[in-house]
Amino acid sequence: MILSDRDIVQALESGRIKITPQPDLERCLGSCSIDFRLGNTFMVFEHSRFSYIDPRQPQSIGDAMRTITVPDGEAFIMQAGDFALASTLESLELPDDLLGRLEGRSSIARLGITVHSTAAVFEPGWVGTATMELSNLGRMAVALYPGMRICSFTFEQLSSPAKVPYRYKRGNKYAGQIDPKPSRLAEEIAMALEEEK
């Protein structure tokens, strides 16, 4: 079951869902979603430093990216065909029986900007900002401003609370993040190889 606007407000008021800073419900609340805003921190690939990324090598991933902090009022320019990681301004805390789903906003999508590649699900027990995988699929550069509404979240009720919520899951890689983080796939691969021994 997807939560309605009434359910979202009730969950916020009761503290089941925590969003920090508190959203302006007048502007951000939809009939079954709530908008989140773009944060100030972006991570971009430095194409000239590496010819490829090896997901088995953690330094390959982290070293291939550069962090950019954009001051309020200034723009981050997404060139056509570009990809960047960015975080939401808001932090989200989910209870053990709700799943969050990050979705794009139509107004942004009509400019060619997508906010996630495949990572739309935020598991029960999630705590932290949301990292978005921004892409510009259009043919023109687009200016993105910190603080603008960039994505929306919907929430789905689970049939029962998760036995192991994300924040307690062994090997969770992104819980508690406050800025975008590069892929930690190398850790996952190393853990799987270690378990095979």
Active site residues: 133
| Residue 18 burial class via C-beta count within 10 angstroms: exposed 0-12, middle 13-18, buried 19 and up | middle
Q: How far apart are CA 6 and CA 4, in angstroms?
A: 5
Q: How far apart are CA 43 and CA 64, in angstroms?
A: 10
Q: How far apart are CA 187 and CA 56, in angstroms?
A: 8
> If we measure between CA atoms, which residue out of 173, 151, 171 comes closest to residue 89?
151
- Residue 152, strand partner residues: 35, 103
Question: For residue 151, what is the enclosing H or E element?
Answer: strand 149-157
DSSP assignment of 50-102, as one string? -S---TT-HHHHHHTEEEEEPPTT--EEE-TT-EEEEEEEEEEE--TTEEEEE
What are the counts of helices (DSSP H) followed by strands (DSSP E) for the chain? 5, 11
